[in-house]
Structure 1
Amino acid sequence: MEKFQQMFLRQLKYILYLLSLYTLGWGFTAYKTFFLSLILGTVISIFMLWSLTRKIDKLGQAVLERKKVRTIGTLSRLALAALAAAVALEYPQYFAIVPVVLGLMTSYIVIIIDFLLQKWKNNGQHA
């Protein structure tokens, strides 16, 4: 599980870099609504990634101990996404729904890119 935690921390670092770019975009451009929406979606995406990581860690421990595991928290992550969409729809003067959804997808995009980078890096070491 140590490798799994390292992967989570690496992905979190990438997302925080993106979040800092979004914050700079919000502060220094005229696209306040767009960047604020990305920030909202990304912050919730970080929480969803953390929740998924924690649930998968518990699943791994349960498998090792031969115990049952109920879920990996899909419903709670869907509820968080619905909350982000509800906030965006409730306050259209501050948020737009499309960038919020893009922000919600940030962690999944980072996971895919991190996987590809690690695969490329590991293939280079074996050559």
Structure 2
Amino acid sequence: MQDLQQVYARQKKLVFFLLAFCALGWGFTPVQSVFAGLAIGSLFGLYNFWLLVRRLEKFDRSLSEGKKVASLGTALRFASGIAAVAIAISIPEHIHLASTVIGLMIPYVYLLVDRIVYHVKHH
């Protein structure tokens, strides 16, 4: 099994490529708000994924040491998702709401595809 940090590093690289694509789309297409929403959502999604990786490592350490297991920080990830949507709602002329919500899910879609590819290659 791969280390969680390796998976996160790949995720980060893919999101940065997506952000570069969003910058190009924002600069050269008339649908700037859609690309801005994807970028904002992807950034917040990457932040959520980073929080999840951190919490899972802490969870694993607690289990291996026999300590009481703490929360996985769901409330903080929900709050950051709400913050991304709040930004999109507050300036709808610059940031498209639906693309922001889609952007929030992109790191998790990447994770699903990455796991499928990993299992196809190794099984």
TM bin (shorter chain): over 0.9
1:76 counterpart = 2:95: no
Task: List aligned pairs for 1:1-127, cutoff 5 A.
Answer: 3-123=3-123
| Cα distance between partner residues in 2 of 1:41 and 1:95 | 10
- Unmatched 5+ stretches in structure 1: none
| Cα distance between partner residues in 2 of 1:20 and 1:120 | 29
Letter of the 1:60 counterpart: D
Deviation at residue 18 of structure 1 after TM alignment: 1.4
Percent of aligned positions that are identical: 33
Q: Encode CA deviations 1:48-106: one digit per residue, 9 max, x unaligned.
A: 01000000000001111111122111000000111111111111111111000000001
Deviation at residue 2 of structure 1 after TM alignment: 6.9
| Cα distance between partner residues in 1 of 2:85 and 2:22 | 19
| Cα distance between partner residues in 2 of 1:118 and 1:31 | 35
TM-score, structure 1 length as denominator?
Answer: 0.91
Q: Which one is further off, 9-18 or 97-106? A: 9-18
Letter of the 2:32 counterpart: K
Classify the secondary structure of the residue corresponding to 1:11: helix
- Unmatched 5+ stretches in structure 2: none
RMSD: 1.4
Deviation at residue 39 of structure 1 after TM alignment: 0.5
| Cα distance between partner residues in 2 of 1:24 and 1:84 | 21
| Cα distance between partner residues in 1 of 2:112 and 2:103 | 15
Letter of the 1:83 counterpart: A
Give the count of matched residue pairs.
Answer: 123
